A and B are shown apart, each in its own frame.
Chain A
Amino acid sequence: MVILQTENLKKAFGGLQAVNKVNLTIAKGELSSIIGPNGAGKTTLFNLITGYLPADSGKIIFKGENIFGLPHYKIVRKGIGRSFQRTTIFPSLTLFENVRAAILSHKKKNFKFFTDSNSLEDVNEATFQILESLNLPDKAYLISSTLAHGDQKLLDIGIALALEPDLLLLDEPTAGMSPEERWNTVAMIQKLWKTRNMTVVFIEHDMDMVFSISQQIRVLHYGEIIAEGQPEEISHNRAVIEAYLGEEMI
């Protein structure tokens, strides 16, 4: 079953065709990655899917519904969560408050004026569940800007997870992490994907990680998908080797 499909998706910045005629088909329950050189249009593609940037033309079909042109906050409510390349959290709030805001929104308890947020037991419980799945419950009441970079990246993912998305888009989830943090995060993403029945698509530059956990890899080059397939096929694909991987991968 297909969860997300794009048809002839296009986006140009001035004369630069950042995303060009992208036809993407993502199967439900898949853990896949998008790779490609810098400036290939990977993040732009995420921005188009999540409605952060308006696409010039094409179709974006999510769970059978065309979401092209919907405002970003509505697309989120349809079930697409995302994390950001440059960590995007609520810096002056505690981790608990960061995740709770997303939980409140997801449970549609966000527009209440005369309820004490702390008194919502189900919200508190759900918030702690997210923090536990990220191994961060001990840091629940720390101000998030005081966390180490790796933990902030996890929190970024946690905010997206709190929305219980059907499709989770992770933009370089391990960028800037130490090797150890990186493998912990990889293990965590794999675990979350398995336990939460999500479809996960991530952008990554670390090829070890990409090839070790992706079921499906798509390669973007100058805004176009030049290859798509299982890790084994991709690593032997001529076009991909020339455009991105280089000879030593073989």
Chain B
Amino acid sequence: MKKTIFWGSIIAVILIIFPFVYYSNFMINYLTQILIMALFAVSLNLLIGYTGMISFGHAAYFGIGAYSVGILLQKYSSNLLGSLFLAVVFSAIAALVIGFFCIRLGRIYFAMLSLAFAQIIYTIVVKWTGMTGGDQGLIGGIPKPPISLLGLSFSIGTPLNFYIFTVILVIASFVICKFIVDSPFGAILKTIRDNFLRTYFIGIPVKIYQLVIFVIAGTFAGLSGALMALFISGAYPDFTYWTKSAEPIFMILVGGMGSLLGPILGAAILNLLTAYITMYTHLYELVMGTVLVIFILSLKKGLVDYLLESERFKRWSSSLAKKKPSRIGQATE
């Protein structure tokens, strides 16, 4: 646990120092976007990769986070952190209510019901014009009042400051996700993924675990949505549309679902590809689709999983003799 915090802090510090060494607006914006989307993908991977629950409606919580923070700051509040917190709480509540119904069903029905609920959220967003701006989305910009904390004031109005703000929140979220997957709770999630029937027969109420992780995943998706709304200073109906639910699935497929790093890498690869492809052609979807097909057909699993499972890596890691739990008093090799 201390190790996770240590490495999390190191990565956060490196990411924060980076723009002071080499600064470009393009890069800062892309890094911000990658971090936000990586959080979205990691949150979904808690369900897909760690619990075996394939949700096709994860955009619902992303969208609720985005719209909540936008509406709160535009209409009701000038407290940024408070609004952000409330937005995340709203996403969690939505995940609790929707998850309560979805977990009743297995596999493909779970996937379809989660998608159906997300489409309901989408319809509400489009039709509730008075609150959400309907088709046009939340336009006119989202105010970003300075954050005052412990007598200090910090504005996230500039790209650099917003980047730092994002790094802190996203890396902290990754650290929490890492705690969860390494915890006993996470160990049980993996048994549910592998064989939920047997998990019942070690005395585990599987549905409760599924609901809890569904809410946790929805919470982090809500945070990533809220950050995205602040980042682009708006929220749009397609944030809750099913195509938005597909984005993190692609990231997970490309990066790999067996680790936390997989979806992060997937998010980075897909975002950078998008950036470069759109520079050269407007047939972006065609190129992207082809790349995805080649990727998935040739590796048959995500990039990180592919590397971790390769013989070369296994030899390397066993030569490092990773410390694994062993009997007390018995030396680890």
A residues with CB within 8 A of B: 50, 52, 71-74, 76-77, 81-82, 84, 88-93, 96-98, 100-102, 104-106, 109-121, 124-125, 127-128, 141, 159-160, 162-163
Q: Which 7 A-B pairs have the closest CB atoms?
A: A90-B194, A76-B203, A124-B325, A102-B202, A77-B203, A101-B191, A105-B202
How far is the CB of A193 from the nearest CB of chain B, in Å? 20
How far is the CB of B81 from the nearest CB of chain A, in Å? 23
Which residues in A have their C-beta under 8 angstroms from that of B326? 124, 128
Q: A104 touching B187 by the CB < 8 A rule?
A: yes
Known A114-B1, A118-B325, A121-B328; contact A76-B200, beta-carbon cutoff 8 A: yes
Known A93-B190, A118-B325, A121-B328; contact A159-B183, beta-carbon cutoff 8 A: no
A-B CB pair tally, cutoff 8 Å: 115
Number of B residues, CB within 8 Å of A: 30
B residues with CB within 8 A of A: 1, 179-180, 182-188, 190-191, 193-195, 197-206, 324-328
Main secondary structure of the interface of B (DSSP, over half): helix
Other CB < 8 Å A-B pairs besides A89-B195, A124-B327, 13 of them? A73-B205, A73-B206, A89-B194, A90-B198, A97-B190, A97-B191, A104-B187, A104-B188, A111-B184, A112-B185, A115-B1, A117-B186, A121-B328
How far is the CB of B47 from the nearest CB of chain A, in Å? 16
How far does the alpha carbon of A115 sit from the alpha carbon of B326 in the complex, in Å?
Answer: 18
Q: B183 touching A116 by the CB < 8 A rule?
A: yes
Q: A105 touching B1 by the CB < 8 A rule?
A: no
Known A82-B201, A104-B188; contact A114-B183, beta-carbon cutoff 8 A: yes
How far does the alpha carbon of A101 sit from the alpha carbon of B164 in the complex, in Å?
Answer: 39
Q: B195 touching A91 by the CB < 8 A rule?
A: yes
Q: A72 touching B188 by the CB < 8 A rule?
A: no
Which residues in A have their C-beta under 8 angstroms from that of B325? 96, 118, 124, 127
How far is the CB of A147 from the nearest CB of chain B, in Å? 14
Q: A163 touching B203 by the CB < 8 A rule?
A: yes
Give the nearest-CB partner of B190 in chain A. A93
Give the nearest-CB partner of A109 in chain B. B184
Q: B194 touching A91 by the CB < 8 A rule?
A: yes
How far is the CB of A151 from the nearest CB of chain B, in Å? 16
Which residues in A have their C-beta under 8 angstroms from that of B185? 110-113
Known A72-B200, A76-B202; contact A128-B327, beta-carbon cutoff 8 A: yes
Q: B195 touching A50 by the CB < 8 A rule?
A: no
Q: B327 touching A125 by the CB < 8 A rule?
A: yes
A-B contact pairs, 27 of them (CB 8 A): A52-B201, A72-B200, A76-B202, A84-B198, A88-B195, A88-B198, A90-B190, A96-B325, A98-B191, A101-B202, A104-B184, A105-B188, A105-B204, A109-B184, A110-B184, A112-B185, A113-B183, A114-B183, A115-B183, A116-B182, A116-B183, A124-B326, A124-B328, A125-B327, A125-B328, A128-B326, A159-B202
How far does the alpha carbon of A109 sit from the alpha carbon of B184 in the complex, in Å?
Answer: 7
Q: B183 touching A89 by the CB < 8 A rule?
A: no
Which residues in A have their C-beta under 8 angstroms from that of B182? 116-118
Residue in A89, A101, A127 whose beta carbon sits within 8 Å of that of B188 in the complex? A101
How far is the CB of A93 from the nearest CB of chain B, in Å? 6
Q: A117 touching B183 by the CB < 8 A rule?
A: yes
Which residues in B have their C-beta under 8 angstroms from that of A109? 184
Q: A159 touching B198 by the CB < 8 A rule?
A: yes
Q: B195 touching A90 by the CB < 8 A rule?
A: yes
